[in-house]
């Protein structure tokens, strides 16, 4: 028999210690006995025990259990995950029950039955293992939370009045569990707002889980969000925990919620109302405890269109509503944002310190940045990589071509799409990259920079579209 588990027996009765050790060493890998409870602290510091058998009374004539309560308290202070089994005299059940209220796991009565003691301690060893694994998971989760939210560059930058107003709203809403809806164009930093809400919330030590609602295949919606049981459908080869259950205890960020079809909006609404999910193939529902933060690039007018977004879901999501302004409406923040990312990318790519030339600053402040902060960040990253000097000039950002693409050239080549829409290119410009650039810009503008919709129209994945946006400076 493979013996596992380390047991500590604390009792002032030598007969109990001898009998206990003779019995338990046949079932467990290590059994330590001690008659003096003053030795408990030293033994716990020297090594952990999977279970501790602790007498309720020490010394002749003692029956109150006060000593047992005291040493139980000391053990739990030293090791909060300790599994303690109380030893009580016959008829001392009430005292043992009080001990369990204070943290004890179970009790055995003197004179004990060997089979019961072995069974109780075997269960205690398994419980200790479970508690240890749970503690490790909590620690791993805290580490992952810290790693996924690096404060060195993922933060809200700027001092404009619009940004101050948003930060005030975040500070007020964060400590509550109210659902929050964040509205704003793509690239404005909606996820940063969501992460800041989580960081300042009571759930900050728990998980922040982001789900791209626009990127979930409709046929896999239930499996992705609610999970599934093995064998519930063809490709369900293992049990899977859904995103809602995985985020339980923390914050669930539903990005691009406006891209969710109406029939799936109904499913999401039901879950948010009931706070229960039923994995695909399961018969029982599971309670969930999540704080929901959602984001969309739909306008207020589009959100109120019942043919596009369920109003009952909107009411459920926007207990608090935060609208993030586009970068063009807070140009006073551009210099601080630019300097922050110049410093970040110089360090990342091991480049010498660089600074903005006054003309470059003027150029980027006057540019409209249709891709907002994300586009500015990409432009700065490219400029840091490609610039040869220590001063970034307007040419390092290559912004001059954008107005021309918007329609300032007189001679144009007109391409008609299947939808009979016109795309204008400079005459004679049949360079494939130029055409790709124009098509991407047209699709982005058509869909108001909704990445999922533009990518779908262009026949690209979201990741592929992002790479091309970065390439062409969108």
Q: Within this chain, do residues 407 and 385 fall inside the same structural domain, yes or no?
A: no
Residues 384, 291 share a domain: no
Q: What is the pLDDT of residue 153?
A: 42
Q: Indicate whether 152 belongs to any domain.
A: no
Q: What is the pLDDT of residue 421?
A: 55
Residue 151 counted as domain residue: no
Q: Is residue 454 part of a domain?
A: yes
Of 348, 363, 390, the position where a domain reaches its end is 390
Q: Is residue 154 part of a domain?
A: no
Do 179 and 303 lie in a common domain? yes
Q: What is the 3-state secondary structure (H, E, C) of the chain?
A: CCCCCEEEEECCCHHHHHHHHHHHCCCCCEEEEECCHHHHHHHHHHCCCCEEEEECCCCCCCCCCHHHHHHHHHHHHHCCCCCEEEEEECCCHHHHHHHHHCCCCEEEEECCCHHHHHHHHHHHHHHHHHHHHHHHHHHHHHHHHHHHCCCCCCCCCCCCHHHHHHHHHHHHHCCCCCCEEEECCCCCCHHHHHHHHHHCCCCCCCCEEEEEHHHCCHHHHHHHHHEECCCCCCCCCCCEECHHHHCCCCEEEEECHHHCCHHHHHHHHHHHHHCEECCECCCCCEECCCEEEEEECCCHHHHCCCCCCCHHHHHHHCCEEEECCCHHHHHHHHHHHHHHHHHHHHHHCCCCCCEECHHHHHHHHHCCCCCHHHHHHHHHHHHHHHCCCCEECHHHHCCCHHHHHHHHCCCEEEEECCCCCEEEEECCCCCHHHHHHHHHHHHHHHCCCCHHHHHHHHCCCHHHHHHHHHHHCC
CATH number, domain containing residue 450: 1.10.10.60
250: containing domain: 161-325
216 — pLDDT class (breaks 50, 70, 90): confident
Range 191-220 average pLDDT: 89
For residues 184 and 273, membership in a common domain is answered with yes
pLDDT digits (tens, 9 = 90+) for 363-415: 999 998 988 999 999 999 999 999 988 999 998 987 744 443 333 333 445 55
Domain at 33, CATH number: 3.40.50.2300
- Domain with residue 334: its CATH number is 1.10.8.60
Highest mean pLDDT (candidates 173-177, 232-236, 281-285)? 173-177
The reported pLDDT for the residue numbered 413 is: 52
Q: Is 90 exceeded by the pLDDT of residue 268?
A: yes
Q: Has residue 147 been placed in a domain?
A: no
For residues 316 and 381, membership in a common domain is answered with no
Residue 14 lies in a domain: yes
Residue with tokens 């599971």: 286
Residue 223 sits in the same domain as residue 313: yes
280 domain-assigned: yes
- CA 310 – CA 304 distance, rounded (Å): 8
Peptide bond connecting 126 to the previous residue in cis, omega within 30 degrees of 0: no
The predicted pLDDT at position 147 comes to 53
Residues 279 and 212 reside in one and the same domain: yes
Tally of structural domains, the chain: 4
Claim to verify: residue 315 and residue 335 sit in the same structural domain: no
Q: Residue 30: what pLDDT?
A: 92
Domain CATH for 287: 3.40.50.300
Q: Are residues 166 and 302 in the same domain?
A: yes
Among 277, 303, 325, where does a domain finish?
A: 325
Indicate whether 195 and 333 sit together in one domain.
no
Q: Is residue 142 one of the residues assigned to a domain?
A: no
Residues 40 and 117 in one domain: yes
Global model pTM greater than 0.75: no
Same domain, 168 and 83: no
Q: Report the C-alpha gap between 14 and 387 in whole angstroms.
A: 81
Which has the closest alpha carbon to 124: 138, 108, 105? 105
Rounded to 10 degrees, the C-alpha dihedral 128/131/135/136 comes to 70
């Amino acid at each position: 028999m493979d013996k596992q588990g380390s047991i500590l027996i604390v009792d002032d009765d030598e007969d109990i210690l001898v009998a206990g050790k003779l019995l338990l060493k046949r079932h467990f890998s290590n059994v330590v006995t001690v008659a003096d409870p003053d030795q408990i602290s030293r033994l716990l510091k020297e090594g952990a025990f999977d279970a501790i058998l602790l007498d309720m009374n020490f010394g002749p004539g003692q029956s109150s259990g006060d000593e047992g309560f005291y040493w139980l308290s000391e053990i739990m202070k030293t090791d909060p995950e300790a599994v303690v089994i109380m030893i009580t005299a016959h008829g001392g059940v009430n005292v043992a029950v009080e001990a369990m209220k204070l943290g004890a796991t179970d009790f055995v009565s003197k004179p004990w039955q060997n089979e019961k003691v072995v069974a109780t301690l075997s269960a205690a060893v398994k419980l200790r293992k479970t508690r240890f694994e749970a503690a490790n998971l909590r620690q791993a989760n805290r580490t992952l939370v810290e790693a996924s939210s690096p404060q060195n560059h993922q933060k809200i930058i700027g001092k404009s009045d619009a940004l101050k107003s948003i930060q005030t709203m975040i500070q007020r809403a964060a400590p509550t569990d109210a659902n929050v809806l964040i509205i704003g164009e793509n690239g404005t930093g909606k996820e940063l707002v969501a992460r800041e809400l989580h960081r300042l919330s009571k759930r900050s030590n728990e998980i922040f889980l982001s789900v791209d609602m626009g990127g979930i295949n409709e046929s896999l919606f239930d499996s992705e969000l609610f999970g599934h049981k093995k064998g519930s459908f063809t490709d369900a080869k293992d049990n899977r925990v859904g995103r809602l259950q995985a985020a339980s205890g923390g914050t669930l960020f539903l990005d691009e919620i406006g891209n969710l079809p109406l029939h799936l909006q109904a499913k999401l609404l039901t879950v948010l109302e009931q706070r229960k999910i039923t994995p695909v193939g399961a018969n029982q529902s599971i309670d969930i405890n999540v704080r929901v933060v959602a984001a969309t690039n739909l306008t207020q007018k589009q959100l109120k269109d019942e043919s596009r977004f369920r109003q009952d879901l909107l009411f459920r999501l926007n207990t608090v509503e935060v609208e993030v302004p586009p970068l063009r409406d807070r140009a006073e923040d551009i210099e601080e944002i630019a300097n922050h990312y110049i410093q970040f990318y110089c360090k990342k790519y091991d480049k010498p310190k660089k600074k903005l030339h006054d003309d470059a600053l003027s150029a980027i402040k006057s540019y409209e940045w249709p891709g907002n902060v994300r586009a500015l960040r990409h432009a700065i990253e490219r400029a840091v990589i490609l610039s040869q000097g220590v001063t970034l000039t307007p040419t390092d950002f290559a912004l001059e071509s954008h107005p021309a693409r918007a329609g300032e050239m007189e001679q144009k080549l007109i391409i008609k799409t299947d939808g009979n829409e016109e795309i204008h290119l400079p005459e004679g410009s049949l360079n494939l990259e130029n055409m790709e650039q124009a098509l991407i810009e047209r699709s982005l503008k058509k869909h108001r920079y909704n990445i999922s919709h533009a990518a779908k129209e262009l026949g690209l994945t979201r990741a592929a579209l992002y790479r091309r946006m970065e390439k062409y400076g969108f």
